Amino acid sequence: MKFSKIQVITAMKETGMVPVFYHSDIEIAKNVVKACYDGGVRVFEFTNRADFAQDVFAGLVKYVAKECPEMIMGIGSIVDAPTAALYIQLGANFIVGPLFNPEVAKVANRRLVPYSPGCGSVSEVGFAQEMGCDVCKVFPGDVLGAAFVKNLKAPMPWSNLMVTGGVKPEEANLKTWFDAGVTCVGMGSNLFPAEMMKANDWAGITKLCSDALEIIKKVKK
């Protein structure tokens, strides 16, 4: 484990943004991670979205260790414990899922790896916190909305929430989420526009990342 649990959570809080990305071509994935790194990103979620995703991730982690030494690599779309264990073995520094599975929490806790499960209700966030999840993922964000975050934080102000789904690298959108009280945001396709990806416009992605991080600095409480 390259980064401790405290380092991961601190980086999530300090930067306020976690790009969420998957590609089956490792060269494209390397370029994207490097573009994000150059833009100031320090926590990156690669997602377990297709066959052999673990092979891409294994190669990516080795590349990042050399080329982006401060980048914290995690794995997303994890729904069961065996898959979590596989990716921890391949160097994942944190685990993210679309749902909350207590069995994943056990695997992660045993290895002191942060687990951010997807939660869609106040009770789910509560159960996840009982199982040692320091940062819970509010998902899907565009369905639940910023009001959900705000109303959850009122009786449970200690909650660290990462919202994913419906987050855009725009001031109005980011301000709404950070005003509601999120710890950080997960951002997928809006950080990696199809036309930029098609054109291999890595500099464009770097700029999108650095602009988003600037906005987050401005709107963060």
Tokens 């997960």 belong to residue: 186
Burial class, 113, CB count within 10 angstroms (exposed 0-12 / middle 13-18 / buried 19+): buried
The mean per-residue pLDDT over the stretch 176-200 comes to 97
What angle separates helix 81-89 from helix 102-110, to the nearest 10 degrees?
30
The mean per-residue pLDDT over the stretch 203-209 comes to 98
The mean per-residue pLDDT over the stretch 110-137 comes to 98
The pLDDT assigned to 165 comes to 93
In the chain, the percentage of residues whose pLDDT exceeds 90 is: 98
The strand order across the sheet containing 160-164 reads: 115-116, 95-96, 72-76, 43-47, 17-21, 184-187, 160-164, 135-138, 118-119
Q: What is the pLDDT of residues 15-69, one digit of tens each?
A: 999 999 999 999 999 999 999 999 999 999 999 999 999 999 999 999 999 999 9
The pLDDT assigned to 16 comes to 98
The mean per-residue pLDDT over the stretch 190-194 comes to 96
The pLDDT assigned to 1 comes to 67
The mean per-residue pLDDT over the stretch 172-189 comes to 97
Which distant-in-sequence residues (6+ apart) come within 8 Å of 8 by Cβ? Answer: 43, 72, 74, 93, 94, 114
- The residues pairing with 184 across neighbouring beta strands, listed in sequence order, are 162
| Whether pLDDT at 208 is above 90 | yes
In the chain, the percentage of residues whose pLDDT exceeds 70 is: 100
Beta strand pairing call for 160-164 and 135-138: parallel
The mean pLDDT value of the chain amounts to 97
The mean per-residue pLDDT over the stretch 144-164 comes to 98
pTM for this entry: 0.97
Structural domains in the chain, sorted by start: 5-212 (3.20.20.70)
Tokens matching residue 52? 């052999």
pLDDT band at 83 (very low <50, low <70, confident <90, very high): very high
The pLDDT assigned to 221 comes to 73
Closest CA to 206 of 35, 18, 33: 35
